[in-house]
Amino acid sequence: MAEIVKMPKMSDTMEEGVIAVWHKKVGDKVESGELMAEIETDKATMDYESYHDGTVLYLGAEEGDAVQVDGVLAIVGEDGEDYQALLDGESSSEEAAPATEAASPAPAAAVSSEKIDTSSINATIVRMPKMSDTMEEGVIATWHKKVGDTVESGELVADVETDKATMEYESYDDGTVLYLGASEGEAVKVDGILAIVGEPGADFETLIKADVQNDADTAEVTAPEAPAEAAPVAEKPIAAAPVANEAPVTHPSGRVKASPLAKRLASEKGIDIALVQGTGEAGRIIKRDVESYVPAAQPAIASKTTGAVEAAAPAIQLPTIVGEESFEDVKLSQMRKVIARRLGESKFAAPHFYLTMEINMDKAIEARKSMNEISPVKISFNDMVIKAVAVALRKHPGVNSSWLDDRIRINHHVHIGVAVAVDEGLLVPVVKFADNKPLSHISAEVKGLGAKARDKKLQPDEMEGNTFTISNLGMFGIEEFTAIINPPDACIMAVGGIKQTAIVKDGELAIGNIMKVTMSCDHRVVDGAVGSAFLKDFKSLLEDPVRLLV
């Protein structure tokens, strides 16, 4: 069934998008997740990936033309399908099916074998948008609307936690909230059902059924039944300990009735499940029965020599419990999921090799002291590293490159990603055109981006476009380490701390301030000689920092 693809709101201030490039034309096949167009917003030119599978039936604008947010970007459906009614329906509902058709329910068998007709339902499915280039799902941090509330286009509906930030989601539709697809704290996949908005009383349940029918991978709307063990049962007194003779408990059917969890727990604890008294329904043994089970004392036994009854256990008794195993499962945040996925892909897809170099920071220390006497903001050693990397990249564009499967992209601009540690993981805000900025500008920008990263207020355009990344752990006392390349970069530099150590200077032993850096390189893009030449120039810039000011 044909569907209208609407212009998404790709930034908080976006009102329209200009079609920079179409990657699909009418008649082309398109799959969910496939690049469809490049759209120029008020902040950046961004890739638009399709949420639909099918054939492109209609394009709503030519390259260079603007489309309003929520305007018709394209129509995707089955090859040869008539989409004109959909276009007409944007301004008029005259061709909608009569209301009487909706009143007569379809036979139950038709739900699974025939397409469900939703043309007469005056409601719209609101889907989870892709709010960042790496987003796969969003967690509902806060709902600002509930079922029954009216909502207008542009009105705040929810706060959505992505893998990079918590962002506001504004409605594109007018109407009444009929259905919410998740509770606060739950995740919704990109293109999953976020909500349904329409006329009061509209049959939104049929819309959901149609959506499930059209996408076999859509999760079941109704929650699974709770296991029988979770059902409330009458409270029964639990004995502190079983009887002394530890006789097996008699079960009415002659077999032990126990939940799988209780059986597994008993096996782990070395408990004979037949000795446990069940308190569940019909005497079923459940988890709490195993957890509260206390073995009885060993019975007395007869002496092999005299036949006299003796105590089975020696006088010394060891405590039953000498410690307790415990652990805590922490639910993965969106950020941690993406870090795991992207860096895993990078480590195992890109052949890494490493180049380490020692840099004498004596002159850099003196220069920084002098610069901070006149600088409007305090310049850090990290700021000097960023500037030195940016200047060196101008001379070595081969390091300022990316691997794109069938080609290598050599970037002529220098955008430096700066890794920032936050509570949930790592964010990489980007200092753009760093080679053209003075140290004081870089310092102020890095401080501002770092504060926004820790407050989770970074916007997607502030974390995109990096051509080289720097990770600095020197402030934590780390002398040397290696880092995993941050795609799409070909290199990342790991910066250690500055350490006083013995050096040979002018043929004599002296004390010097040494900093070690290790550059991880993607061997598909950068060869050892290319990376070494870059590091040589980077080293000379920091060892004679006056050159950074020219």
What DSSP designation does 474 have? G
Q: Which amino acid is at 312?
A: A
C-alpha 275/C-alpha 253 separation (Å) is: 15
* Active-site hit among 28, 272, 527, 544: 527
* 203 flagged as catalytic: no
C-alpha 72/C-alpha 77 separation (Å) is: 14
C-alpha 456/C-alpha 462 separation (Å) is: 12
Which residue is associated with the tokens 């970074």?
458
Is the preceding omega at residue 299 within 30 degrees of 0, hence cis? no
Which residue is associated with the tokens 């819309």?
207
Q: Is 335 helix (H, G, I), strand (E, B) or coil?
A: helix
- Whole-number CA gyration radius for the chain: 33
Is the preceding omega at residue 397 within 30 degrees of 0, hence cis? no
What DSSP designation does 461 have? G
Which residue is associated with the tokens 């639909």?
52
Q: Minimal CA–CA distance to 400: which of 464, 516, 496, 492?
A: 492
Strands 16-22, 66-68: pairing kind: antiparallel
Check if the beta carbon of residue 486 is closer than 8 Å to that of residue 492.
Answer: yes
Residue 480 exposure: Cα atoms within 13 Å on the Cβ side? 13
129's tokens? 């948008």
Check if the beta carbon of residue 363 is closer than 8 Å to that of residue 545.
Answer: yes
Residue 255 — left, alpha, or beta (φ > 0 → left; ψ -120 to 50 → alpha)?
beta
List 415's β-bridge partners, or say none: 432
352's tokens? 């890494």
C-alpha 258/C-alpha 252 separation (Å) is: 13
H/E stretch holding 495: strand 491-505
First-last CA distance in the chain: 62
Buried b (16+ CB within 10 A) or exposed e, 289-322: bbeebeeeeeeeeeeeeeeeeeeeeeeeeeeeee
Dihedral sign, Cα of residue 229, residue 233, residue 236, residue 240 = positive
Q: Which amino acid is at 74?
A: A
* Active-site hit among 23, 144, 251, 523: 523
* 523 flagged as catalytic: yes
C-alpha 180/C-alpha 194 separation (Å) is: 6
Q: Which residues are catalytic?
A: 523, 527
